[in-house]
C-alpha cells in the first residue's frame, strides 16, 4: 500500500474491521498530538533520553566511575565537555549513565503506583458498601500525609538505597490513582453493558478485569504522564538527601549533593545534573499536557 | 461543591514542594460530627502508620538505649521497661497515649526530649513557609486574575511559562543556583543560616520567629540581618507556591468570567475593572482559601529540601539529620507533627469554606 492509501484507510469513516477502527483511532490521536509542537518537543527529548540510556556505554567518553585526582574540579573543556567533579570523574559520562537510573526509578514507580491504585480504586468502587468505606478511609489517611515526609520515614525504616527509594515513592503516590479509578468505576458500574455481561454469567473478577479496568486505563495514563515529572523530582530529592542511589552511583540528585560543597567556586559540578533534571521533567510535563489533549479532551483546555 | 484543586489544570507539583495538587480530606463529611470523626480517624491512621514504620525499623531500639556493652540482664530489663514484650496492640495503645501527652521519647542525636526539639525548630520552618506563602499569594493571585482576564495575552503566556518552569524545577537545585548568584556573585543577600554570627542569640526568643522577635525587641540591625537571610529561601518557596496559586486562580477566574452574571454586569455598563475585581474575583475567594491552605501545607513539606540547601535550622533539617543518624524517635516525632499540621490545615480550610460560602449551608 502506498502512503496515501494507508492514510485514507486509517482515516476511513466506515472501518471494515475492528482492527481498522482501533488503528484509525490511534492515528487520529497521533495527528492531534503531532499538532502540539510543545508536546512533540517533549517527546523528542524523552526519545533522546531513552536512546542515551540504552547506548550509555558507547556514548560516554569515559567510565562514570574512573577517578583521576590530578584532574579534579576542572571546568568544562575540550577534554571534559562538562568538567570534572571532586574525584576527577568526567561529569558528562556520569550524566549519561545517570539517565539509566532516572529512567529505572521513574519507570518502576510509574508502573507500580497506578497498578496498586487501579486495583484498590476499582475494587472499592465496584464492591461498594463497607469494602468501599474501609479502602477509601485508608486512601484518605495516605492522602493526609505529606508525601515527601512519608517517603523519608519509609526510607528511614527500610534503609537507604535505590530499591527502597522506589518502594517509598510507590507507597506514597498510589492514593490519587485509587481515587481516580474509583470515580471512573462508579460512573460505569451500572452501565447496561456491565449488566449484560453479568447476565451472561460473568463473575465479579471477570467484570473487573475484562470490563472495568480497560475503561479506567486511559484516564490513569494521562494522570501518570502528568505525574512523571513529580516522580523524577521526588526521586532526585531523595538522592540529594543521600537516601536514594548510594555512591558511587551517578544518580543526578546525588550528583547535585556532591557539588553542593563546591557551589561557590566550582559551580558546574552541581549546575549540570540539575539542568538535566530540569530538562527531563520539563519534557515529561509537556508530553503529559499533550497526552491529556489526546486522551482526555474534556479536561484538556481550560 | 468546591473545585478540588489539582484535578484539572496543570500537573501536581513536584518533589520540591510536593502535594499541592492533592486534596487531602474529601469534603464528604456533611456535618460537624462527621468532620470531627474524620479528623480523629485520620489522626489515628497517622499514628498507626508511624507506629508501623517504627516497628519495621531494622535498628534495635533497646540497644540504642542501653548501649552495645550492656549485659543480657540490663538488656532484658530495658526491653520490658519499653513494653516490647507486650502484644503489638498494647504497644500501639501505649504509643498513642505517649503521643497524646506530647511524649515522643528522647532524641538520640541531640539528647533532648523530641518535643523540646520540635518546639525549637518548628518556628523556623513556620516563619519560612509563612513568608513563602505570602509571596505566593501576593504575586500569584494578581497574576492568575490578569492572566484570566487577558486570556491569550502576553501576561497569560508569561504566567504559563512561570508555572511550567515551577512544576519542572528541582527546588533544591534552584536554591543552590540562587545562593551562587545572589550570595556568591552579587552579594545581595545573607548566606546560609537564619542569622549572621554577630546577631546569633542576641535577640530574646519570644515566638521563635526571628523577624517578629527582633521587631518586638526593636532591634533593627537584627531585623535587617534576619531579613537578608530569609528573603532568598522564602522567595524560592514563594515561587513554587505562586506557580500553583496562579494556575488555580486563573482556572477559577475563567469559570466565573464565562458565567451569565458577568455578562449581565458588562451589559449594565460596569467598568471591566469592577466586573473582574468586584464581581468575579469575589466569587473565587472561597475556593482560593482552600488552595492557599493547601499551598501552605505543601511549603511546610517542601521546606525540607530548601532547609538543607540553606542550612536552615527548621523541622526539615531536623528530620533529615535524625534520619541519617538512625534517630527514629526524632524522625517519627517530626513526621507526626508535620502530618498533624496538614490535617489541621485541611480542617481549617474546610471550616472556613463552610462559614464563608452561603451555599454550603
ipTM of the complex: 0.84
Is the pLDDT at A298 greater than 70, yes or no? no
pLDDT greater at residue B202 or residue B101: B101
- Taking contacts as CB-CB distances below 8 angstroms, the residues of chain A near B250 are 302
Rounded to whole angstroms, how far apart are CA atoms B51 and A160?
19
Instruction: Write out residues 211-230 of B within 8 Å (CB-CB) of A.
Output: none
pLDDT band with cut points at 50, 70 and 90 for residue A95: very high
| pLDDT score of A120 | 93
The chain-wide mean pLDDT, for chain B, equals 81
Q: Are A234 and A148 in contact (CB under 8 A)?
A: yes
Q: CB of B14 within 8 Å of any CB in chain A?
A: yes
Q: Are B335 and B322 in contact (CB under 8 A)?
A: no
| Cα angle, residue B84 at apex, residues B78 and B86 outer, rounded to 5° | 130
Q: Name which of A113, A140, A148, A246 to mutate to probe chain B: the one with the most chain B Cβ atoms within 10 A of its Cβ.
A: A148
The nearest CA of chain A is from the CA of B156 a distance in Å of: 13
pLDDT band with cut points at 50, 70 and 90 for residue A226: confident
Does B185 fall in a domain? yes
Q: For residues B134 and B180, state if they share a domain.
A: yes
Within chain A, residue ranges assigned H as helices are 3-10, 18-35, 37-54, 56-59, 91-127, 129-144, 147-158, 162-173, 175-188, 192-199, 204-206, 213-240, 252-260, 268-295, 297-300
Inspect the interface and report whether the beta carbons of B342 and A154 lie closer than 8 Å: no
pLDDT band with cut points at 50, 70 and 90 for residue A3: low
| pLDDT score of A4 | 63
Please compute the mean of the pLDDT values over residues B88-113 and round it to a whole number: 84
Q: For residues B87 and B119, state if they share a domain.
A: no
| pLDDT score of B143 | 94
Q: For residues B211 and B295, state if they share a domain.
A: yes
Is the pLDDT at B307 greater than 80, yes or no? yes
| Cα angle, residue B32 at apex, residues B31 and B38 outer, rounded to 5° | 95
Q: For residues B84 and B119, state if they share a domain.
A: no
Question: What domains sit in chain A, N to C, each tagged with a CATH number?
Answer: 28-50+82-301 (1.10.3720.10)
pLDDT greater at residue A159 or residue B4: A159
Please state, for a pLDDT cut of 70, what percent of chain B lies above it.
86
> Can you read off the three cell numbers belonging to residue A219?
484516564
The nearest CA of chain A is from the CA of B212 a distance in Å of: 27
| pLDDT score of A107 | 92
Inspect the interface and report whether the beta carbons of B164 and A176 lie closer than 8 Å: no
Q: CB of B25 within 8 Å of any CB in chain A?
A: yes
What digits encode the pLDDT tens for the residues A49-84?
A: 999 999 988 888 888 888 888 888 888 887 788 888
Does B78 fall in a domain? yes
Please compute the mean of the pLDDT values over residues A218-230 and round it to a whole number: 86
Q: What is the pTM of this model?
A: 0.84
The nearest CA of chain A is from the CA of B344 a distance in Å of: 10
Q: For residues B61 and B170, state if they share a domain.
A: no
Rounded to whole angstroms, how far apart are CA atoms A145 and A127?
26
Considering only the beta carbons, identify the residue of A158, A176, A240 that sits closest to B305.
A240
Does B11 fall in a domain? no
The nearest CA of chain B is from the CA of A10 a distance in Å of: 31
- Taking contacts as CB-CB distances below 8 angstroms, the residues of chain B near A158 are 56, 58
| pLDDT score of B18 | 36
Q: CB of B177 within 8 Å of any CB in chain A?
A: yes
Residue that finishes a domain, picked among B45, B78, B100: B100
Q: How many domains does chain B have?
A: 2
What CATH number should be reported for the domain holding residue B310? 1.10.3720.10
Q: CB of B169 within 8 Å of any CB in chain A?
A: yes
- Taking contacts as CB-CB distances below 8 angstroms, the residues of chain A near B24 are 140, 143-144
Q: Name which of A237, A247, A292 to mutate to probe chain B: the one with the most chain B Cβ atoms within 10 A of its Cβ.
A: A237
pLDDT greater at residue B89 or residue A4: B89
Does B318 fall in a domain? yes
| pLDDT score of B360 | 59
What digits encode the pLDDT tens for the residues B157-206?
A: 999 999 999 989 998 999 999 999 999 888 888 878 888 777 777 777 77
Q: CB of B159 within 8 Å of any CB in chain A?
A: no
The nearest CA of chain B is from the CA of A84 a distance in Å of: 18
Please state, for a pLDDT cut of 70, what percent of chain A lies above it.
96
Domain that holds residue B245: 114-360
Across the A:B interface, residue pairs with CB atoms under 8 Å apart total 201
**Least confident among A197-201, B79-83, B96-100, B252-256:** B79-83
Is the pLDDT at B20 greater than 50, yes or no? no
| pLDDT score of B146 | 92
Q: For residues B253 and B126, state if they share a domain.
A: yes
Chain-centre distance of CA B156, in angstroms? 28
- Taking contacts as CB-CB distances below 8 angstroms, the residues of chain B near A242 are 324
What digits encode the pLDDT tens for the residues A139-187?
A: 888 887 778 888 888 887 788 888 889 999 998 899 999 999 998 888 8
Contacts of B75 (CB under 8 A, 6+ apart): B62, B63, B66
Residue that finishes a domain, picked among B100, B125, B140: B100
Q: Name which of A134, A145, A270 to mutate to probe chain B: the one with the most chain B Cβ atoms within 10 A of its Cβ.
A: A145
Inspect the interface and report whether the beta carbons of A237 and B49 lie closer than 8 Å: no
Q: For residues B330 and B211, state if they share a domain.
A: yes
Q: For residues B183 and B294, state if they share a domain.
A: yes
Is the pLDDT at A44 greater than 90, yes or no? yes
Is the pLDDT at A12 greater than 70, yes or no? yes
pLDDT greater at residue A297 or residue A188: A188
Please compute the mean of the pLDDT values over residues B123-129 and round it to a whole number: 92
Inspect the interface and report whether the beta carbons of B335 and A153 lie closer than 8 Å: yes
Is the link from the previous residue into A248 a cis peptide, with omega within 30 of 0?
yes
Q: For residues B276 and B356, state if they share a domain.
A: yes
Inspect the interface and report whether the beta carbons of A278 and B49 lie closer than 8 Å: no
Rounded to whole angstroms, how far apart are CA atoms B149 and A283?
29
Q: For residues B150 and B173, state if they share a domain.
A: yes
Considering only the beta carbons, identify the residue of B7, B42, B304 that sits closest to A149.
B304
pLDDT band with cut points at 50, 70 and 90 for residue A122: very high
Q: For residues B174 and B321, state if they share a domain.
A: yes
Does B206 fall in a domain? yes
Inspect the interface and report whether the beta carbons of B18 and A143 lie closer than 8 Å: no
Does B127 fall in a domain? yes
Inspect the interface and report whether the beta carbons of A285 and B49 lie closer than 8 Å: no
- Taking contacts as CB-CB distances below 8 angstroms, the residues of chain B near A259 are 176
Q: For residues B52 and B182, state if they share a domain.
A: no
A18-35 and A37-54 helices, crossing angle to 10°: 100
The nearest CA of chain B is from the CA of A13 a distance in Å of: 32
| pLDDT score of A215 | 83
- Taking contacts as CB-CB distances below 8 angstroms, the residues of chain A near B109 are none
Residue that finishes a domain, picked among B100, B135, B168: B100
Amino acid at each position: 500500500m502506498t502512503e496515501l492509501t494507508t492514510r485514507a484507510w486509517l482515516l476511513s469513516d466506515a472501518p471494515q474491521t475492528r482492527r481498522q477502527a482501533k488503528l484509525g483511532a490511534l492515528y487520529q490521536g497521533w495527528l492531534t498530538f503531532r499538532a502540539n509542537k510543545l508536546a512533540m518537543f517533549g517527546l523528542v527529548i524523552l526519545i533522546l533520553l531513552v536512546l542515551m540510556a540504552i547506548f550509555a556505554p558507547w556514548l560516554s567518553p569515559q567510565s562514570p566511575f574512573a577517578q583521576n585526582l590530578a584532574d579534579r574540579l576542572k571546568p568544562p573543556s575540550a577534554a571534559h565537555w562538562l568538567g570534572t567533579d571532586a574525584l576527577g570523574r568526567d561529569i558528562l559520562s556520569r550524566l549519561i549513565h545517570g539517565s539509566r537510573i532516572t529512567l529505572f526509578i521513574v519507570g518502576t514507580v510509574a508502573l507500580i503506583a497506578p497498578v496498586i491504585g487501579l486495583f484498590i480504586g476499582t475494587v472499592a468502587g465496584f464492591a461498594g458498601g463497607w469494602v468501599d468505606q474501609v479502602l477509601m478511609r485508608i486512601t484518605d489517611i495516605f492522602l493526609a500525609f505529606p508525601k515527601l515526609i512519608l517517603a523519608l520515614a519509609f526510607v528511614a525504616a527500610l534503609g537507604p538505597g535505590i530499591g527502597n527509594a522506589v518502594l517509598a515513592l510507590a507507597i506514597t503516590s498510589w492514593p490519587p490513582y485509587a481515587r481516580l479509578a474509583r470515580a471512573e468505576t462508579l460512573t460505569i458500574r451500572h452501565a447496561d453493558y456491565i449488566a449484560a455481561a453479568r447476565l451472561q454469567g460473568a463473575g465479579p473478577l471477570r467484570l473487573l478485569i475484562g470490563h472495568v479496568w480497560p475503561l479506567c486505563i486511559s484516564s490513569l495514563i494521562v494522570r501518570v504522564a502528568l505525574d512523571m515529572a513529580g516522580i523524577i523530582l521526588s526521586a532526585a530529592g531523595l538522592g540529594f538527601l543521600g537516601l536514594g542511589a548510594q555512591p558511587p552511583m551517578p544518580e543526578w540528585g546525588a550528583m547535585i549533593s556532591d557539588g553542593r560543597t563546591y557551589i561557590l567556586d566550582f559551580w558546574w559540578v552541581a549546575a549540570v545534573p540539575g539542568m538535566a533534571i530540569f530538562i527531563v521533567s520539563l519534557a515529561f510535563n509537556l508530553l503529559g499536557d499533550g497526552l491529556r489533549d489526546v486522551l482526555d479532551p474534556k479536561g484538556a483546555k481550560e | 461543591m468546591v473545585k478540588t484543586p489539582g484535578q484539572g489544570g496543570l500537573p501536581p507539583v513536584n518533589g520540591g514542594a510536593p502535594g499541592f495538587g492533592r486534596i487531602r480530606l474529601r469534603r464528604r463529611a456533611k456535618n460537624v460530627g462527621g468532620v470531627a470523626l474524620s479528623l480523629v480517624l485520620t489522626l489515628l491512621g497517622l499514628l498507626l502508620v508511624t507506629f508501623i514504620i517504627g516497628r519495621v525499623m531494622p535498628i534495635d531500639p533497646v540497644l540504642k538505649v542501653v548501649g552495645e556493652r550492656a549485659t543480657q540482664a540490663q538488656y532484658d530489663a530495658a526491653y520490658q521497661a519499653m513494653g516490647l514484650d507486650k502484644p503489638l496492640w498494647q504497644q500501639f495503645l501505649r504509643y498513642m497515649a505517649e503521643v497524646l501527652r506530647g511524649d515522643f521519647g528522647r532524641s538520640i542525636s541531640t539528647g533532648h526530649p523530641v518535643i523540646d526539639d520540635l518546639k525549637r525548630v518548628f518556628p523556623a520552618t513556620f516563619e519560612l513557609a509563612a513568608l513563602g506563602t505570602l509571596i505566593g499569594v501576593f504575586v500569584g493571585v494578581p497574576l492568575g486574575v490578569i492572566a484570566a482576564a487577558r486570556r491569550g495575552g502576553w501576561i497569560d503566556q508569561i504566567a504559563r511559562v512561570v508555572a511550567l518552569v515551577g512544576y519542572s524545577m528541582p527546588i533544591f537545585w534552584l536554591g543552590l543556583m540562587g545562593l551562587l548568584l545572589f550570595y556568591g556573585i552579587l552579594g545581595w543577600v545573607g548566606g546560609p543560616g537564619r542569622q549572621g554570627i554577630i546577631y546569633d542569640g542576641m535577640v530574646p526568643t519570644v515566638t521563635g520567629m526571628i523577624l517578629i522577635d527582633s521587631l518586638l525587641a526593636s532591634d533593627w540591625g537584627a531585623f535587617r540581618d534576619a531579613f537578608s537571610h530569609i528573603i532568598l529561601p522564602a522567595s524560592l518557596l514563594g515561587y513554587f507556591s505562586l506557580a500553583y496559586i496562579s494556575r488555580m486562580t486563573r482556572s477559577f477566574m475563567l469559570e466565573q468570567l464565562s458565567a451569565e452574571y458577568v455578562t449581565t454586569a458588562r451589559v449594565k455598563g460596569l467598568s471591566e475593572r469592577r466586573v473582574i475585581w468586584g464581581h468575579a474575583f469575589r466569587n473565587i475567594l472561597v475556593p482560593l482559601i482552600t488552595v492557599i491552605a493547601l499551598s501552605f501545607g505543601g511549603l511546610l513539606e517542601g521546606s525540607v529540601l530548601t532547609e538543607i540547601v540553606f542550612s536552615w535550622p527548621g523541622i526539615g533539617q531536623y528530620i533529615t539529620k535524625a534520619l541519617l543518624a538512625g534517630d527514629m524517635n526524632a524522625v517519627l516525632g517530626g513526621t507526626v507533627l508535620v502530618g498533624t499540621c496538614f490535617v489541621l490545615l485541611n480542617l481549617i480550610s474546610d471550616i472556613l469554606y463552610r462559614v464563608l460560602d452561603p451555599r454550603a449551608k
